[in-house]
């Protein structure tokens, strides 16, 4: 029995129908909802991480099979294996091949948790030293695909962790008028992290310039860690 068959068999055995039903509701899989059509087997995140660690050497063809699956957990485990392979890659060429795979298969990275777990650790990390980083983030931010726009925003977490605010500010401005609540949350979250991890004054400057234009969800996320007086000030603008 090859590793792919072992892995998929293990995923199926670890499933739980009750947890799957809860996940179906939590991830909004009903008609016309953002996760419409997504199918869950009911594995916990620790279970998925544990399974992914057992199969570190799956090839990209096998990871593609997992990622193209209708089962959410198959896609998540594919991404977890990809993250592990990226971290172990020996040079930029190897990392670049994994990033290319990630971007070429972005249509399968189609729920917020799949994006949030993976994009900053793969794409974001790779772009830290790439001259065309802005071009790639701009393209994703301008995408008609909700999940690619979220990728653009969450990828900047890698830059935040390196004390670089420019990329987060750039993409936040581009997505300021986005219509989707999941983008509002992503923008607010990254602005908050920028303020916490780099410099609160950069966040306050952004809020002074754009706070009155921001969707309320994005604003509330961005100011979450501020003192009460400052939060009230920005909410009243």
**If you average pLDDT over residues 107-122, what whole number do you get?**
97
Residue 114 lies inside a defined structural domain of this protein: no
pLDDT, tens digit (0-9, with 9 covering 90-100), for 84-102: 999 999 999 999 999 999 9
Are 171 and 95 members of one domain? no
Q: Rounded CA gap, 33 and 129, in Å?
A: 37
Are 49 and 102 members of one domain? yes
pLDDT at 59 over 70: yes
End-to-end CA distance of the chain: 63
Report the pLDDT value the prediction gives residue 204, as an integer from 0 to 100: 97
Retrieve residue 109's tokens. 């990275």
Residue 176 lies inside a defined structural domain of this protein: yes
Angle between helices 92-104 and 72-88 in degrees, nearest 10:
160
Are 96 and 130 members of one domain? no
Which CATH number fits the domain that encloses residue 132? 1.25.10.90
pLDDT at 237 over 90: no
Of 90, 109, 128, which one is at a domain's C-terminal end?
109
Checking phi first, is residue 163 left (phi over 0); if not, alpha (psi -120 to 50) or beta? left
Of 85, 109, 133, which one is at a domain's C-terminal end?
109
Are 87 and 123 members of one domain? no
Are 214 and 150 members of one domain? yes
Are 103 and 206 members of one domain? no
Are 79 and 175 members of one domain? no
pLDDT, tens digit (0-9, with 9 covering 90-100), for 126-179: 999 999 999 999 999 999 999 999 999 999 999 999 999 999 999 999 999 999
Q: Rounded CA gap, 73 and 69, in Å?
A: 9
Q: Residue 32 — pLDDT band, cuts 50, 70, 90? A: confident
Residue 20 lies inside a defined structural domain of this protein: yes
Are 61 and 127 members of one domain? no
Are 31 and 84 members of one domain? yes
Are 50 and 150 members of one domain? no
Q: Count structural domains, the chain.
A: 2
Residue 232 lies inside a defined structural domain of this protein: yes
- If you average pLDDT over every residue of the chain, what do you get? 96
Report the pLDDT value the prediction gives residue 13, as an integer from 0 to 100: 94
pLDDT at 1 over 80: no
Are 128 and 54 members of one domain? no
Residue 29 lies inside a defined structural domain of this protein: yes
- The range of the structural domain enclosing residue 182 comes to 119-237
On whether the pTM is more than 0.75, the answer is yes
Of 109, 143, 176, which one is at a domain's C-terminal end?
109
Are 228 and 148 members of one domain? yes
Residue 197 lies inside a defined structural domain of this protein: yes
Three-state SS for 110? Answer: coil
Residue 191 lies inside a defined structural domain of this protein: yes
């Amino acid at each position: 029995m090859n590793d792919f068959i072992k892995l998929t068999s293990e995923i199926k055995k670890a499933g739980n129908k009750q947890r799957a039903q809860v996940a179906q509701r939590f991830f909004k899989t009903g008609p016309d909802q953002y996760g419409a059509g997504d199918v869950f087997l009911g594995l916990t995140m620790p279970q998925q991480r544990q399974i992914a660690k057992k199969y570190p050497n799956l090839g990209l063809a096998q990871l593609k099979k997992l990622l193209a699956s209708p089962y959410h957990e198959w896609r998540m485990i594919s991404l977890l294996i990809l993250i592990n392979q990226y971290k172990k890659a020996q040079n930029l060429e190897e990392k670049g091949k994994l990033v290319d795979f990630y971007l070429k298969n972005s249509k399968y990275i189609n729920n917020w948790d799949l994006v949030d777990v993976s994009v900053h650790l793969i794409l974001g990390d790779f772009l830290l030293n790439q001259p065309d980083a802005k071009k790639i983030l701009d393209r994703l931010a301008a995408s008609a695909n909700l999940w690619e726009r979220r990728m653009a925003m969450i990828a900047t977490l890698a830059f935040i962790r390196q004390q670089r605010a420019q990329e987060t500010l750039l993409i936040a401005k581009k997505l300021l008028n986005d219509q989707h609540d999941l983008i509002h949350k992503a923008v607010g979250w990254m602005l908050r992290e920028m303020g916490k991890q780099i410099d609160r004054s950069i966040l306050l400057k952004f809020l002074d310039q754009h706070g009155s234009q921001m969707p309320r969800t994005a604003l509330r996320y961005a100011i979450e860690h501020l003192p009460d007086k400052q939060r009230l000030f920005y909410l009243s603008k």
